[in-house]
Structure 1
């Protein structure tokens, strides 16, 4: 089948740029909790808030709907997707399916560059945590950037752009829950040890151990945020 079957984006370049800007602003405020779960997202209000036209705002809302950060409910419009155990359980389950495959591929075909980047990302995270001490979990965006870099480098040798993109989207979807989890963590050494053993297993190309540790690590957020629910 030829290229005629593809849907092309005919939006003007400026409109596309504004859509990107609107999506980034919305995503940031949703992930940081400025726009709370369940909050109504009125196009006119958001247009005035960000100084961006209604069309790019609608496009941005549709984009974030596909990323499961925004929900569209019939004619009632858009609202910030709610937070609950079932949602985080589903995010965690799918995230593990994606990341375990990316991790296996990285261990099988990742070379010196992958190993070096993983070690460097672990070192940067270690330095930050050491300096922050028991307050490391309150680091907000700076901490999460370093934490995300580690997880991105861990699976960064997969050679699959789609797995990388899926993992990034799922990481973002879990961000609001992770913020709640990090507020409860004060043992910096325990936190770093969890990441060190995961990195060591990956660098040792021990697939069975690395996948087990990844499963344990990803599910720790679920267990910490919802301690009264049975752990999968």
Structure 2
């Protein structure tokens, strides 16, 4: 698909610089699996693919290197970061550390508007799944936005922009793994139930209970994608 036909979503709705556009297009293709893990990213090929000059493409690649989606290969250019159990374990460890503290602070400081945001985010996700039945999946723009929006709403009152920024980046880094897990979910009702239970713990202002449930929720991806040896050998 030519770059001119792609939609680049940005939080502030502005067109952004060419390097930002290049980073956004690359990120979309990596997360959607159109650029496979480990695949080489040649500048000439990318110029043709996205119809963007070599300099802003290199800048865009550098942006994604800092986010862990792309790695440099010495003087030979760039490639898409590999996926592995170790990588997902590292992402999960960082998400757990950041989000458990963020949820604690949000529960302490959250007001009625924060609670309403959680309820609204859950309702929107539920309605989307009701409309799409069990066909909902990561990779559909509407579902991706609503799913991330719910998890962000839980933490929104933490009072730390850096924590929220770390949550957003780590959430996106786990996306490629989460898509694998989502293929195994065949019940929209069960998916919503697990998120409803998490929301209920948070809204009950149960810090310890919410932290434990959130940790289990975050670890569900790695447990599904890379099950323990005792389970995978059954």
TM over 0.5: yes
| TM-score, scaled relative to structure 1 | 0.89
Structure 1 vs Structure 2 CA RMSD: 1.5
The alpha-carbon deviation at position 230 of structure 1 amounts to 7.2
Distance 1:193 1:154 in 2: 16
Give the match for residue 41 of structure 1.
41
Give the match for residue 22 of structure 1.
22
| Count, aligned residues | 216
Task: Write out per-residue CA displacement over residues 123-167 of structure 1, whole angstroms, 9 at most, x where no aligned residue.
Answer: 001111222222223662221111000001111111111111111
Distance 1:19 1:79 in 2: 18
Give the match for residue 132 of structure 2.
132
Give the match for residue 8 of structure 1.
none
* 1:31–1:175 Cα contact (<8 Å) kept: yes
* 1:136–1:186 Cα contact (<8 Å) kept: no
Distance 1:195 1:19 in 2: 36
Give the match for residue 191 of structure 1.
191
Structure 2: give runs of 5+ residues left out of the alignment.
Answer: 1-15
Give the match for residue 158 of structure 2.
158
The alpha-carbon deviation at position 228 of structure 1 amounts to 3.8
1:120 maps to 2:113: no
* 1:92–1:218 Cα contact (<8 Å) kept: yes
- Structure 1 segments of 4+ aligned residues over 4 angstroms from their partners: none
- Structure 1's 212 and 230: CA in aligned 2 closer, same or farther, altered over 3 A? farther
The alpha-carbon deviation at position 223 of structure 1 amounts to 0.9
* 2:32–2:139 Cα contact (<8 Å) kept: no
Structure 1: give runs of 5+ residues left out of the alignment.
Answer: 1-15
Give the match for residue 10 of structure 2.
none
Give the match for residue 90 of structure 1.
90
* 2:88–2:177 Cα contact (<8 Å) kept: yes
* 2:33–2:176 Cα contact (<8 Å) kept: yes
Give the match for residue 105 of structure 2.
105
Give the match for residue 208 of structure 1.
208
The alpha-carbon deviation at position 44 of structure 1 amounts to 2.1
Distance 1:99 1:84 in 2: 22
* 1:223–1:229 Cα contact (<8 Å) kept: no
